[in-house]
Amino acid sequence: MKKFLAIVLCTVMVFVLAACKGKDDEADYSFADGDQYDYIGGELNILNWGEYIDEELIKIFEEETGVSVKYVKMTSNEEMLIKLRSADCVYDLCFPSDYIIEQLIAADMLLPLDKEKIPNAKNIADRMIQFTEVFDPGNKYSLPYMWGTVGILYNTKMVTEPVDSWNILWNEEYAGKIWQYDSVRDAIAVSLLRLGYDINTRNADEVDKAKDELIKQIPLLKGLGTDNIRSSMINNKAALAVIYSGDAFACMDENEDLAYVVPKEGSNVWFDNVVIPKTAKNVEAAHAFINFINDANLATRNCEFIYYSTPNQGALDRLDPFFIESETFNPSDEILSRCSVFHDLGSFVEVFNNAWSEFKSAMGN
């Protein structure tokens, strides 16, 4: 009897497994420009943020090129810097943010991109180039992968007054229902902007004032969050949150009471670009991968998966109006004109770090 049961269970499991496999194989795709990839082989080590690519694309890339991809996730730019600085860095590709790229270029840690191997670079929208120009002139070392703004996500049922200023995050009416972002540059930028200062300020007094304002905000905060802000906002657990536009867009899709705004004082527009570290071993595969993800069809698909704004004009032409018509996903030039890119602060970053550490120490008192 037991043997019989075991056989039945085994058979069921085999079928279940077979069914799963069948589903995976369904992936159908085509390249927008009929690209063909030669066999490259070897390994490609990618370092990227969590949930920041449609993993099906990796499988397609592996099939096309015979490269075996190792995809490692990171949670912060700082973590990535540590990995890239280490002597036995294995990564062939990674996706750092703007000001980190500036730092990496200055430290001579990146390989210039061979644009001839990336014909799909033509797909990058012109209006993006003017921003990336600021930290990587001529896109010599990097190509934009995803981008977005920083703004306020709010629940229209809980916040009935119009939201157009960072000031609302200091409004006592919403005490205990405000999420601040748990990141040095982002949180201090919010405070700097509210006071009318530049987010790339090199004036220690301004940073100090911004820090004092953040400390004043502590009693009003629900907390400091990153990814956890999403579920909290979707489930109506908080009224206001500092958030990246991509996350905001995904939240608004799940809860129709949510709205996103880039405040009138201005904000940060950020870019996560793809770069090849100097230590890369499979440079050929790295270039092929960059070209691959910039294919208009695949970029569209990737964007539909992760919901962050794409700099790829080809994808913008193909995406559903649901994406394109959203001011969150696709902000107007008017909104972007208020936003600026983070710069690497050089040694002045210490002033920011000290302010942040002082702010954190003031928590829980």
Of residues 210-239, those binding another protein (CB under 8 A): 218, 221-225, 228, 232, 235, 237
User: CB-based contacts of 13: which residues, under 8 Å, 6+ apart?
Assistant: none
Q: Is 14 in the site for another protein (CB under 8 A)?
A: no
- Look at the block and give the residue holding tokens 């001579």: 108
For another protein, the binding residues in 52-71 under the rule CB under 8 A are none
User: Which residues neighbour 96 within 8 Å (Cβ) at sequence distance 6 or greater?
Assistant: 77, 80, 81, 104, 272, 273, 275
Binding-site string for another protein from residue 169 to residue 198, where x marks contact by CB under 8 A and - marks none: -------xx----x-x--------------
| Residue 186 burial (CB count, 10 A) | 20
Using the rule CB under 8 A, which residue among 13, 82, 129, 324 binds another protein? 82
- Residue span 235-274 as binding mask against another protein, x where in contact by CB under 8 A, dash where not: x-x-------------------------------------
Q: Of 103 and 123, which has the nearer Cβ to another protein?
A: 103
Burial class (CB in 10 A: 0-12, 13-18, 19+), 106: exposed
Q: Does 78 bind another protein (CB under 8 A)?
A: yes
- Quote the least distance from Cβ 210 to another protein, whole Å: 16
- Report which of 237, 96, 97, 51 is spatially closest to residue 153, judged by C-alpha positions: 237
Q: Which stretch binds another protein (CB under 8 A): 63-71, 81-89, 164-172, 278-286?
A: 81-89
If one asks whether residue 357 binds another protein (CB under 8 A), the answer comes out as yes
- Asked if 167 and 152 touch (Cβ cutoff 8 Å), the reply is no
Question: Of 329, 266, 312, which Cα lies nearest the Cα of 129?
Answer: 312
d(CA 288, CA 118): 7
Q: Which of 45, 65, 77, 302 binds another protein (CB under 8 A)?
A: 77
The residue assigned the tokens 């990141």 is 183
Binding residues (CB under 8 A) for another protein: these are: 76-79, 81-82, 85, 100, 176-177, 182, 184, 218, 221-225, 228, 232, 235, 237, 349-350, 353, 356-358, 360-365
